[in-house]
Structure 1
């Protein structure tokens, strides 16, 4: 194994989650070893480092104490209400669940939604089992499905993957994509999620350029991923996260003397077997 791959493997448990536009994020756990994986997890989709809930099947724990007044996967609230995740501290970590009013004409998957009080407040006009995500400062976002926790493995509609966000209980279904083609809609980027590449909001802002520090899997510009800071000598060591480095096609050219490495031991679909990451020359 090359030195680069051992570096990536060592840092993979950090798992960079996917951050939401205003707050919130996607995390990655079983991401390509060539990338910093701390967006909030560090295990395969549907699992977490803690023993807390997630789409792990019947009988899973609901959550830590009174912060979880209901189960977002079981949707066990009274009629006219739904169980939504929310942030106890008002940040990007959804670490609680509560019953909130269900809109009389709720928005469905892929439709625009309104998150009252912003992302993490817990009140939106999506249907039960859906979450208003990629919320901009005005409170507008889009409804995405919470992964099905009734099965032993997380389930999502065809063409989507169950992806973990900030918080041990934050799983959502997101569209798959190709990081080399960057074939997501405007305002989104193709980033690495728990089980593969998914479309996520581009939260890089004015940063996110090559060799910039990143703190989430979607915190780099399109075509770049959040890799370990040791992956290139031009990266600066940072306790906050990783370093933005280019995706590459195997056999292709990388900048500044870096080489294109394959993602080892990652369950890539056939159309993505040529996707690599730029990193240190061994």
Structure 2
């Protein structure tokens, strides 16, 4: 399942933990582990660089909550008055893994407004200058700058036109509305890639973060967004030449176009076993089962 986060700064222990989690089928924003395809392949995601952006909104700087279990539900925003429910990293693993209540910023940004992260210990601190019911995403993972205020799905999982609700992203911690896209066209904004996962039945735009890896064909990966635009993170045993990693990046491909973009031992396999409307031709290069 989809997990979004950052590939940067992950030590070996964190990497192994992330991979084991994703391998069990977890999904989320920030970090993602590769899962071997059965009837369909799966993907993972990392971070990319964005552009700095200034806003006039204030950013909260403190939180009284402790790490660990989630304290609130971001879809219904059930925190006390003056606070908002946010996703954050409670385990220092470089991805959003829990929810907590933080002070709501004064004059917080609305959906679509530019935003920045008050990093604290990491860009996954949960502290930003977006209004209640939104979260700052698609920022530069190195600086926490240049993001966009993004809506949580809400209790009914309804998003705007051209968006998908990632209800189960990061094990339900990050249920956000993100722009849908076509991985064959890679029609997202600059500095974003188009990534997919069976957990929400479609493809969404998110900032890549390959960390110290190149993020292209055969590059090691552990998150959905750990590959650059045009590539998908798949389990190591399904990617030709993937050695010493839990997963590797492999190209998206056109099912109708054949295997020309794939390695000799790989086929262009449909990304979804039961493709949602409009995704029939989207495939990924993997070693067939």
Are 2:261 and 1:254 aligned?
A: yes
- Residue in structure 2 matched with residue 234 of structure 1 by the alignment: 241
Q: Deviations over 1:159-207 (max 9, x none)?
A: 1112244354222111100001011111110011432110010112442
**Other-structure match for 1:84:** 86
Paired position in structure 2 for 1:214: 221
From the superposition, tell whether residues 220 and 71 of structure 1 become closer, same or farther in structure 2 (CA, over 3 Å): closer
Give distance in 1, aligned partners of 2:113 and 2:97.
25
Which residue matches 1:243? 248
Verify: 1:25 aligned to 2:30, yes or no.
Answer: yes
Corresponding position: 1:280 with 2:281: no
| Residue 94, structure 1, aligned to residue 96, structure 2 | yes
CA contact (8 A) 1:115 1:125 kept: yes
Work out the CA distance in 2 between the residues paired with 1:281 and 1:75.
44
Residue pair 1:27, 1:216 contacting (<8 A) in 2 also: yes
Deviates more, 1:67-76 or 1:195-204: 67-76
Which structure 2 residues correspond to residues 129-148 of structure 1 after superposition, within 5 A?
129-136=133-140, 137-140=142-145, 141-148=147-154
Name the SS for the 1:166 alignment partner: helix
Q: Give distance in 2, aligned partners of 1:31 and 1:21.
A: 20
The DSSP-based 3-state class of the residue aligned with 2:237 is: helix
CA distance 1:22–1:104, shift in 2 (3 Å) = farther
CA drift of 1:145 comes to 1.2
Structure 1 or 2: more strand by fraction: 1
- SS at the partner of 1:251? helix
Conserved 8 A contact 1:211-1:244 = yes
SS at match of 2:100: strand
Cα distance per residue 1:128-163 (max 9 Å; x no partner) = 111112333333222111121x23xx3222211122
Instruction: List runs of 5+ in structure 1 lacking aligned partners.
Output: 1-14, 40-64
- Local SS of the residue matching 1:123: coil
Counterpart-to-counterpart distance in 1, 2:161 and 2:33: 20
How far residue 74 of structure 1 moved from its aligned partner, in angstroms, is 2.1
Confirm whether residue 156 of structure 1 aligns to residue 163 of structure 2.
no
Structural RMSD (CA): 3.1
How many residue pairs get aligned? The number is 238
Gaps of 5+ in 2: 10-28, 46-66
